[in-house]
Structure 1
Amino acid sequence: MINQDTIIALATPSGAGAIAVIRLSGPEAIAVADSQFRSVSGKKLSDQKTHTIHLGHIVDEERTIDEVLASVFKNPNSYTGEDVVEISCHGSNYIQQEIIQLFLRKGCRMATAGEFTLRAFLNGKLDLSQAEAVADLIASDNAASHQIAMQQMRGGFSSEIAKLREELLNFASLIELELDFAEEDVEFADRSEFKALVDRILFVLKRLIDSFAVGNVIKNGIPVAIVGEPNVGKSTLLNALLNEERAIVSEIAGTTRDTIEDEISIGGVGFRFIDTAGIRETQDVVESIGIKRTFEKIEQAQVVIYLFDAGAFSEEKATFKVEIEKIKNKYPQKPLIVLANKVDSISDVQKSELQSQISEVALLSAKTKFGVDELQDKLLGFVNTGALQNNNTIVTNTRHYDALLKALEEVSKVKDGLESGLSGDLLAIDIRQALYHFGEITGEITSDDLLGNIFANFCIGK
């Protein structure tokens, strides 16, 4: 599947900027660059050492297009494992296109999405899970997702999987060897050691699978729905959390007719807050649609914030309690935070009464931002960041999660077979299947369709 042609693409975002980087990779990358690059020192790029940078000009016959820096990376010591040249030019759209079109005329081909990283994988510079982590690193928008992507790109996850696969493969070899001597009834694989290995593999697999619940929300952000009756301060709370006037705030009940979403990072973890339409009986058709969407967003959210007006509590305590119980009963699996807003307008006696009536309530003034820091701490508490702090491997990729589940199923079959005294030939079948699913993660076992699907999601130029 490895193409032998030379590819080119813009490696920096499209559009005008101070600097743009154009990347060439392939067997003719240095030769093609040499044909249009005129070094100020008069030296050719092909005569220079790898990992060196040279000042010069890109020329098209007698016309100078731009003064550039050309970085040379010779195979196999490059990102792709091929000869690579990176041209740093001025960030004019015109200059970028002129240089790219020039090299296309000289025999280069435009790179497809993720093709540089695909070549790095095919040339053994990265395994598949590390290659996928490159895309996650580019997409990371908070400290936690960045940390996980960096760990996986450095091979933390793949090395753990590779170690398990190697140990299992060693025992699989001994089991297969026994089959060659079946008539002599000999055992090369110590069954007690093998059982201990299987138990250890099961433990690691279950830990990795369990980590996906945390990893998935860290990678994609944790959706938090802010719900309550109209005019209790939901939009004011959203604005307070975001530190900007994102939602329209007014004294008119029902101002928010549709859901409003925005994301912030709290303690390095992304939270996606959803300000919903106030829940109430209404004849307004547009507002009714907004309320319907409110319940849809609660279904999608992983945390629900129920907000009510502390000033109206004395008169409507029964209503608030009923609403809280409704949410608890309808969504028992979702963490619920109950907030009494506008506490700046009530007395200390009223605050005490409120807290005695609803034990889980937290006091808040979205207008003055009283209680907002405590709310952020509580939200962060729902995320198990201990794994991050301890630098444990966290699974964030759905494909990896699926492969781990299948591997767990097969290894569990191996354990059951060992305990029931299953013959070596039948054990070998389950072991091969487990090894297959391990190989799917790191890329020892791939298909062109799988690779095409993975790298199609990359940006062009990476």
Structure 2
Amino acid sequence: MIYNDTIVALATASGAGAVAIIRLSGKDAIAIADRCFESVKKQKTLLNQKTHTIHLGHIVDDKRTIDQVLVSVFKNPNSYTGEDVVEVSCHGSIYIQQEIIQLFLRSGCRMANAGEFTLRSFLNGKLDLSQAEAVADLISSDNEASHQIAMQQMRGGFSSEIAKLREELMNFASLIELELDFAEEDVEFADRSQFQALVEKITFVLKRLIDSFAVGNVIKNGIPVAIVGEPNVGKSTLLNALLNEERAIVSDIAGTTRDTIEDELVIEGIGFRFIDTAGIRETKDVVESIGIKKTFEKMEQAQVVVLLFSAEEFKTESKRLKIEIEKIKNRFPLKPLLIIANKIDTLNVEELDRLNLEFEGVHLLSAKSGLGVEELKDKLIGFVNTGALRNNETIVTNTRHYDSLLKAFEEIQKVKYGLESGLSGDLLAIDIRQALYHFGEITGEITSDDLLGNIFANFCIGK
């Protein structure tokens, strides 16, 4: 891989717009931009300008003027990539964008690969690897919670916590390594009681970070919620009420929803992906049977299952409903099951009392009128442990980080066992080195071209 040439790419979204930004980075970025730029102030060259300055002028190809632009100059090392960077703000015509990019390519630039600007930032020490990954998470964040976590990680909250643990562990590792050099003199440089306390501290922090992944993963990817039940109980009406729009087709004909319908709703900063499925019932209709099969597939994929039944069903089929609930609980014992009674406006007070008595914890609702919809949203958010988010604690959202933390935790447990068993320093040092290795994988002290390629391939071009 070559990272010392000059790259160019469109930094704003592709397509026409009011303004577009074209970014260059590399040792010749300013010189290349200067050859194509004609300032409104004659004799003004970009090479002689101070860093973090903006200049008005025209991009010119020979004697042909392409566009009037603003050119921002950022000199190394005080730039995003740590190299000389130029950003050209031009009009957002697709034609103008391509003409300017092609001009820079002919002048000595190369088209940037996906994520190459951020990769150079990492290689030049402007960001560590976990911060670089947070850049991609920030770009793709689509709700308040995922944005908050990405911002915290990009600012180095997660990195600093890992770096501090790694530094403390490395200090003790150095002392234990020193003991090996004086093995014949039988001296101890590393206080074993202090080391034991450090291992306990690292174990506690690692467990907290590992446990946070369960919350972080759903915040980052959204929580899939399957809405299931018999046909014509109001699943589509409930989905429309939650989303506050006519997303699903509603009719009095049973089995109208023959395929799954998905949409998203953000509740208190957390994304929920609601899946309105075909009803569950015995049927000879081939098309509806396929929909019912998909219902069970979606229930398997969902993290929360909402079972919806109507007041009419309760009046006549209470026993069958209880059997249905048990079937779902037995088939998906680890999934939260929320039981909802819809169309409760058709029940009298006595019937409501009997409903609450027969179905403990049932949520009463009228999807048509909106009664109980807001309370349902509160119950859904209750399935997510948002305490860590509210307390601004570090939350792990990245699968690669999670895997490295698990491996580091495993090695720390070996170190802990070795200390308790009175293991010799040379054997302790092996496990400590492995733990340090996995810490280093997270922040990028230890990496490989293959790993970097996999990470930055998921970035957008221009970032």
Give TM-score scaled by structure 1 length.
0.99
Cα distance in 1 between the residues matched to 2:395 and 2:205: 12
Q: CA deviation at 1:275?
A: 0.6
Cα distance in 1 between the residues matched to 2:188 and 2:323: 67
Moved more, 308-317 or 397-406: 308-317
Q: CA deviation at 1:186?
A: 0.5
Partner residue in 2 for 1:363: 364
Cα distance in 2 between the residues matched to 1:139 and 1:307: 33
Q: CA deviation at 1:326?
A: 1.5
Tell me which amino acid in the other structure corresponds to 2:408.
Answer: A
SS for the counterpart of 1:112 is coil
Partner residue in 1 for 2:58: 57
Partner residue in 2 for 1:38: 38
Cα distance in 2 between the residues matched to 1:247 and 1:261: 9
Partner residue in 2 for 1:181: 182
Moved more, 368-377 or 309-318: 309-318
Partner residue in 2 for 1:9: 9
Cα distance in 1 between the residues matched to 2:7 and 2:422: 56
Structure 2: 5+ residue runs without aligned partners? none
SS for the counterpart of 1:404 is helix
Identity, in percent, stands at 81
Partner residue in 1 for 2:339: 338
Q: CA deviation at 1:312?
A: 2.6
SS for the counterpart of 1:435 is helix
Partner residue in 2 for 1:283: 284
> For each residue in 1:284-331, what CA deviation from the matched residue of structure 2 results, as whole angstroms up to 9, or x when unmatched?
111111101101111111101000011331111111111112212221
Q: CA deviation at 1:2?
A: 5.3
Q: Which runs of 4+ in 1 moved over 4 A?
A: none
Whether the aligned pair in 2 keeps the contact of 1:2 and 1:119 (CA below 8 Å) is no
Whether the aligned pair in 2 keeps the contact of 1:215 and 1:396 (CA below 8 Å) is yes
Tell me which amino acid in the other structure corresponds to 1:71.
Answer: S
Cα distance in 1 between the residues matched to 2:25 and 2:179: 48
Cα distance in 2 between the residues matched to 1:3 and 1:401: 29
Cα distance in 2 between the residues matched to 1:133 and 1:2: 24
Partner residue in 1 for 2:101: 100
Partner residue in 2 for 1:143: 144
SS for the counterpart of 1:178 is helix
Partner residue in 2 for 1:29: 29
Cα distance in 1 between the residues matched to 2:299 and 2:460: 33
Cα distance in 2 between the residues matched to 1:314 and 1:251: 19
Tell me which amino acid in the other structure corresponds to 1:24.
Answer: L
Cα distance in 1 between the residues matched to 2:361 and 2:329: 12
Tell me which amino acid in the other structure corresponds to 1:77.
Answer: N
Partner residue in 2 for 1:261: 262
> For each residue in 1:400-459, what CA deviation from the matched residue of structure 2 results, as whole angstroms up to 9, or x when unmatched?
000000000000000000000000000000000000000000000000000000000000
Cα distance in 1 between the residues matched to 2:351 and 2:50: 77
SS for the counterpart of 2:86 is strand
Q: Any residues of structure 2 matched to 1:15-414 within 5 Å, and which?
A: 15-42=15-42, 43-414=44-415
Q: Does 1:446 align with 2:444?
A: no
Cα distance in 1 between the residues matched to 2:355 and 2:417: 56
Tell me which amino acid in the other structure corresponds to 1:14.
Answer: S
SS for the counterpart of 1:433 is helix
SS for the counterpart of 2:446 is coil
Tell me which amino acid in the other structure corresponds to 1:263.
Answer: E
Give TM-score scaled by structure 2 length.
0.99
Cα distance in 2 between the residues matched to 1:108 and 1:419: 59
Tell me which amino acid in the other structure corresponds to 1:449.
Answer: D
Cα distance in 2 between the residues matched to 1:456 and 1:46: 33
Q: CA deviation at 1:348?
A: 2.4
Structure 1: 5+ residue runs without aligned partners? none
Tell me which amino acid in the other structure corresponds to 2:439.
Answer: F
Tell me which amino acid in the other structure corresponds to 1:382.
Answer: F
> For each residue in 1:55-76, what CA deviation from the matched residue of structure 2 results, as whole angstroms up to 9, or x when unmatched?
1110111111001110110000
SS for the counterpart of 1:58 is strand
Cα distance in 2 between the residues matched to 1:350 and 1:139: 48
Tell me which amino acid in the other structure corresponds to 2:281.
Answer: R
Cα distance in 1 between the residues matched to 2:59 and 2:306: 58
SS for the counterpart of 1:65 is strand
Q: CA deviation at 1:234?
A: 0.5
Tell me which amino acid in the other structure corresponds to 1:187.
Answer: E
Considering only aligned residues, what root-mean-square deviation do their CA atoms show, in Å?
0.8
Tell me which amino acid in the other structure corresponds to 1:134.
Answer: V
SS for the counterpart of 2:149 is helix
Moved more, 440-449 or 248-257: 248-257
Cα distance in 2 between the residues matched to 1:387 and 1:340: 32
Number of paired residues?
A: 462
Tell me which amino acid in the other structure corresponds to 1:402.
Answer: D
Tell me which amino acid in the other structure corresponds to 1:13.
Answer: A
